[in-house]
Chain A
Amino acid sequence: MSDAFVEVDKVDLAYDEVSGNAIEDVSLSMKEHEFIAMVGPSGCGKSTFMKLCSGLRRPSKGQVIVEGREVSGPLKIVGMAFQNATLLPWRTTLDNVLLPLEIVQPYRATFKRDRGKYALKAKELLHSVGLDGYENRFPWELSGGMQQRVSICRALVHEPKLLLLDEPFAALDAFTREELWCILRDLWMLKRFTVVLVTHDLREATFLADTVYVMSKRPGRILARRVIDIPRPRELEVTYTDKFVSIVHELREHIGRIRKA
Chain B
Amino acid sequence: MLAAIILVWEVVCRALHVSDFIFPAPSAILRSLGQYAGPISGHALQTFWTTMAGFAIGVGVGVALGVIVGSSRLMYTALYPLMVGFNSIPKAAFVPVLVVWFGIGTVPAILTAFIICFFPITVNVATGLATIEPELEDVLRALGASRMDVLMKVGLPRSLPFFFASLKVAITLAFVGSVVSETVAANEGIGYLMMSAGSQMRMPLVFAGLIVISVMAMAMYVVFAAMERRMTGWATRGMDARA
Contact = CB atoms under 8 A, between A and B. Distances in A.
A102 B144 CA distance: 11
Given A84-B135, A86-B135, A89-B234, A56 B154 contact: no
A80 interface: yes
Nearest to B235: A89
A48 to B, nearest CB: 13
A100 B234 contact: no
B142 A54 contact: yes
B143 A76 contact: yes
A86 B136 CA distance: 6
B138 A56 contact: yes
Nearest to A83: B135
A78 interface: yes
Interface in B95-126: none
Contact of A140 (B141, B143, B237): B237
A170 interface: no
| Contact-residue bracket for chain B | 20 to 34
A73 B143 contact: no
Nearest to B150: A103
A54, A90, A140 — most chain B CB neighbours (10 Å) = A90
Contacts of B154: 88
B157 A90 contact: yes
A104 B141 CA distance: 11
A82 to B, nearest CB: 6
Interface in B175-189: none
Contact of A103 (B138, B143, B232, B235): B143
B133 interface: yes
Interface in B149-207: 149, 153-154, 157-158, 160
A236 B163 CA distance: 50
Interface in A185-240: none
A243 to B, nearest CB: 36
A88 B141 contact: no
B139 A86 contact: yes
B75 interface: no
B135 A103 contact: no
Given A90-B157, A90-B234, A74 B136 contact: no
Contacts of B145: 103
A138 interface: yes
28 contacts: A54-B142, A55-B142, A74-B143, A75-B144, A78-B142, A80-B139, A80-B142, A82-B138, A82-B139, A84-B135, A86-B136, A86-B139, A88-B136, A88-B153, A88-B157, A89-B234, A89-B235, A90-B157, A90-B158, A90-B160, A90-B232, A99-B139, A102-B153, A103-B140, A103-B143, A103-B145, A103-B149, A104-B144
Given A86-B136, A90-B158, A154-B139, 18 more contacts: A74-B142, A74-B143, A74-B144, A75-B144, A76-B144, A80-B138, A82-B139, A84-B135, A86-B133, A86-B138, A90-B157, A90-B234, A102-B153, A103-B140, A103-B145, A104-B143, A138-B234, A140-B237
Interface of A: 54-56, 73-76, 78, 80, 82, 84, 86, 88-90, 99-100, 102-104, 138, 140, 154, 158
